[in-house]
Chains A and B, each alone.
Chain A
């Protein structure tokens, strides 16, 4: 069965430091990949998505992600985090032959140290 793994439940970084959140998926074909962000008690907002083409995609709020087929990964990066980036981040995979479902990772909670 297809799955999405976010190996880090929590990550703590200092304000101004760089960030990388990991996402690995298990899927045979080329997947459709998404990163969402959720502030406490709120819904999810799309940060970026990859469907095809350039494997480095840019998103909102200064985030980017790189699709690496050989590693089945779609890691999220930001060169310098701000305190407002503290939130939970979810990776999701859409299947080309799906019944219209996204498969979700368990999420990574980002904590920013002042």
Chain B
């Protein structure tokens, strides 16, 4: 079955540590996205990528980094510079273009302890 897989589902991190969230898709989509979700704030875009080896900052990129070495994979690193990293993180993909629906993974809940 085609879809997007995020792992792990739950992640705990100590303050000061970097952590990488995995996102893999087998939908053959060009575009991939990372969103952060906090209660009452909807979805905020962290980074997006329209093509391999290219990515752009979203609205809240500070403290995060990404790579897009393969079409299928778009990992997100939450660095120690992110001041408030505890949140629910969602990865999505779509056919390249502004008007196509996005397909979402099941999310990763990151908690800083």
| CA–CA, A22 and B104, complex, Å | 23
Q: Which residue of B lies closest to A106 (CB)?
A: B42
Q: Which of A36-44, A68-76, A77-85 is found at the contact surface with chain B?
A: A36-44
Q: Which residues of B contact A42 (CB under 8 A)?
A: 106-107
CB-defined contacts of A27 to chain B, threshold 8 Å = none
Chain A interface (Cβ within 8 Å of chain B)? 9, 32, 34, 36, 41-46, 49, 51, 90, 94-102, 104-107
Which residues 85-113 of B have a CB within 8 angstroms of A?
88, 90, 92, 94, 96-107, 109
**Contact residues, B20-38 vs A (CB, 8 A):** 31
Q: For chains A and B in complex, what number of residue pairs have CB atoms within 8 angstroms?
A: 61
- Residues from chain B with a CB closer than 8 A to the CB of A102 are 102
B94 CB to nearest A CB, Å: 8
Q: Determine if B40 is an interface residue (Cβ-Cβ < 8 Å).
A: yes
Q: Which of B4, B45, B98 contacts A95 (CB 8 A)?
A: B98
Docked pose: A97 CA to B99 CA in angstroms: 10
> B90, B96, B101, B103 — which one has the most chain A CB atoms within 10 A of its CB?
B101
Q: Which residue of A lies closest to B35 (CB)?
A: A104
CB-CB nearest 6 A-B residue pairs: A43-B104, A98-B98, A32-B99, A106-B42, A44-B104, A104-B43
Judge whether B82 is part of the interface by a CB distance below 8 angstroms. no
